[in-house]
Amino acid sequence: MKKTHIIGLGLLGGSFALALRKVKPELIFTGFDANPKNLEDALALGIISKASEQPDPDTDLIVLATPVNTLEELLLKMLDQVGPNTLVMDFGSTKENLCKAASKHPKRAQYLAGHPIAGTEYSGPKAAKSDLLDKKVFIICEMELTDVHLKGMAYDVLEALNMKLRFMDAAEHDRHLAFVSHLSHVSSFMLGKTVLDKMEDEKNIFDMAGSGFASTVRLAKSSADMWGPILEENKSNILEALSLYIANLSKFRDKIIEEDYEGLKSEMSKTNKIGDILDLGR
Domain 3-168 has CATH 3.10.580.10: no
Nearest to 231 by CA among 172, 169, 184, 168: 184
55 Cβ contact partners less than 8 Å away, ≥ 6 residues apart: 5, 30, 62, 78, 81, 82, 86
Q: What is the mean pLDDT of residues 225-242?
A: 95
Residue 49 is given by DSSP the state S
What is the widest separation between alpha-carbon atoms in the chain?
68
pLDDT tier at 280, thresholds 50, 70, 90: very low
User: pLDDT tens digit string along 169-212?
Assistant: 999 999 999 999 999 999 999 988 988 887 776 667 666 676 77
pLDDT of res. 279: 67
Going from N- to C-terminal start, the domains of the chain cover: 3-168, 172-278
pLDDT of res. 216: 83
CB atoms within 10 A of CB 16: 30
CA atoms of 26 and 60, how far apart (whole Å)? 14
52 Cβ contact partners less than 8 Å away, ≥ 6 residues apart: 5, 30, 31, 32
Q: What is the mean pLDDT of residues 17-35?
A: 96
User: pLDDT tens digit string along 80-102?
Assistant: 999 999 999 999 999 999 999 99
**Could you tell me the CA-to-CA distances from 47 to 19, 24, 32, 167, 182 in Å, in that order?**
9, 13, 11, 28, 28
172-278 CATH: 1.10.3660.10
The pTM score is: 0.87
Residue 167, SS3 per DSSP: strand
pLDDT of res. 6: 98
Q: What is the mean pLDDT of residues 147-170?
A: 96
